[in-house]
Amino acid sequence: MSDPFLIAEGMTGGYGAADILHNCTLSVEPGEIAVIVGPNGAGKSTAMKAVFGMLKLREGHVRLGGKDITALSPQARVAEGMAFVPQTSNVFPTMTVEENLEMGAFLRRDDIRGTMEQVYALFPVLKDKRRQAAGELSGGQRQQVAVGRALMTQPRLLMLDEPTAGVSPIVMDELFDRIIEVARSGISILMVEQNARQALEIADHGYVLVQGANRYTDTGAALLADPEVRRTFLGG
Ligand SMILES: Nc1ncnc2c1ncn2[C@@H]1O[C@H](COP(=O)(O)OP(=O)(O)O)[C@@H](O)[C@H]1O
Ligand SMILES: [Mg+2]
């Protein structure tokens, strides 16, 4: 059997002496949506940082498209096709929407206008507001800028840490629809979500992370149907 497109296998590590992640494994196939849920402080953001190379692992490997990238810097991982939207500070607030998108493409040497038009087609409001400072936009629109900026690198894997944090349910649904659209174009999605139930509804695969370890791994539908998962992590 061949590897999944992204496989982060047996990740163990943390920020100092004590490990936060304990033998944590995550994977995503092309065009699929994988969702990580779990309580606050479970290590979801830490796992995302580890996959993106912002955290040195004591044990474990990350492979993308069959290539071992465990030793690569975040910037080198971007060149390999990874894009990461962190949980906070994911836009440049004083720059315009368009400048934010241009910043996303800083590694590219080719013509970026086609990709920018794709981002504007996905998020039409950003085209209307392209000359406005990103900091002036609503929370939901800022998240669109952050996702759009990540898409400017033409990633094969898009990683999102709580993209719907602080937005209304309607804006959340809207953003999830756009994320599904991105996945249908063949891009893999690895996403952390606090809105666990709604996120698992759009997930091909879900991971419940507890204290830095995999507690449950299954299809989104199976996790939603599991009485134990529902009671403990989805509020009944
Ligand atoms: N930069 C950091 N330095 C030290 N400890 C951290 C750092 N970031 C997070 N932690 C700790 O790691 C644990 C997991 O945090 P985090 O990955 O942010 O959880 P989650 O995203 O699931 O809420 C927590 O105990 C948190 O206090
Ligand atoms: Mg987090």
147-200 pLDDT, tens digit each: 999 999 999 999 999 999 989 999 999 999 999 999 999 999 999 999 999 999
d(CA 183, CA 5): 14
Best residue among 11, 12, 15 to mutate for probing ligand 1's pocket (most ligand atoms within 8 Å of CB) is: 15
Question: Residue 3 has what pLDDT?
Answer: 84
Cα(23)–Cα(98) distance, rounded to whole angstroms?
Answer: 40
Nearest CA to ligand 1 atom 8: 46
Q: How much is the pLDDT for 205?
A: 98
Q: What digits encode the pLDDT tens for the residues 95-152? A: 999 999 999 998 888 999 999 999 999 999 999 999 999 999 999 999 999 999 999 9
Question: Residue 68: what are its φ and ψ, rounded to 5°?
Answer: -75, 115
Of the candidates 161, 29, 138, 23, the one whose C-alpha atom is nearest the C-alpha of residue 83 is 161
Exposed, middle or buried, 212 (CB in 10 Å: 0-12/13-18/19+)?
A: buried
- Residues with Cβ within 8 Å of residue 224, at least 6 apart in sequence: 197, 200, 201, 230, 234
- Whole-number Å distance between alpha carbons of 23 and 127: 43
Ligand nearest to the CA of 46: 1
pLDDT of residue 52: 98
E strand spans, the chain:
6-13, 21-28, 33-37, 59-64, 67-68, 82-85, 157-161, 188-192, 205-210, 213-219
Residue nearest to atom 5 of ligand 1 (CA): 15
Q: Stretch 200-224: mean pLDDT, rounded?
A: 98
Q: Give the per-residue pLDDT at 95.
A: 97
Instruction: pLDDT band for 44, please (50, 70, 90 cuts).
Output: very high
Which bin fits 209, alpha (ψ -120 to 50), beta or left (φ > 0)?
A: beta
72 C-alpha vs ligand 2 centroid, how far in Å? 23
Q: Is the pLDDT of residue 39 over 70?
A: yes
Sequence ranges of the domains in the chain: 1-81+157-163+186-236
* Stretch 196-216: mean pLDDT: 98
Distance, in Å, from the CA atom of 215 to the CA atom of 235, rounded to the nearest integer, reads: 17
Cα–Cα distance, 226 to 200 (Å, whole number): 12
CATH topology of domain 1-81+157-163+186-236: Rossmann fold (3.40.50)
Q: Which ligand is nearest to the CA of 44?
A: 1
pLDDT reported for residue 211? 98
Ligand 1 site: residues with CB under 6 angstroms? 15, 20, 38, 40-46
Nearest ligand 1 atom to alpha carbon 44: 22
List pLDDT tens digits, range 8-27. Answer: 999 999 998 899 999 999 99
pLDDT band with cut points at 50, 70 and 90 for residue 1: low
Per-residue pLDDT, 145: 97
* pLDDT score at 169: 94
pLDDT(223) > 90 = yes
pLDDT at 47 over 80: yes
Mean pLDDT value across the chain = 96
Averaged pLDDT, 3-7:
94
Binned at pLDDT 50, 70 and 90, residue 42 comes out as very high
How far is the C-alpha of 170 from the C-alpha of 11, rounded, in Å? 35
Quote the pLDDT of residue 106.
Answer: 85
Q: How far is the first Cα of the chain from the last one, in angstroms, to the nearest whole number?
A: 37
Going 117 to 118 to 121 to 126, the CA torsion angle's sign is: negative
In this prediction, residue 17 carries a pLDDT of 83
Ligand 1 centre distance from Cα of residue 57 (Å): 15
Q: How many Å lie between the centroid of ligand 2 and the Cα of residue 9?
A: 20
Query: What average pLDDT score do residues 211-232 get?
Result: 97
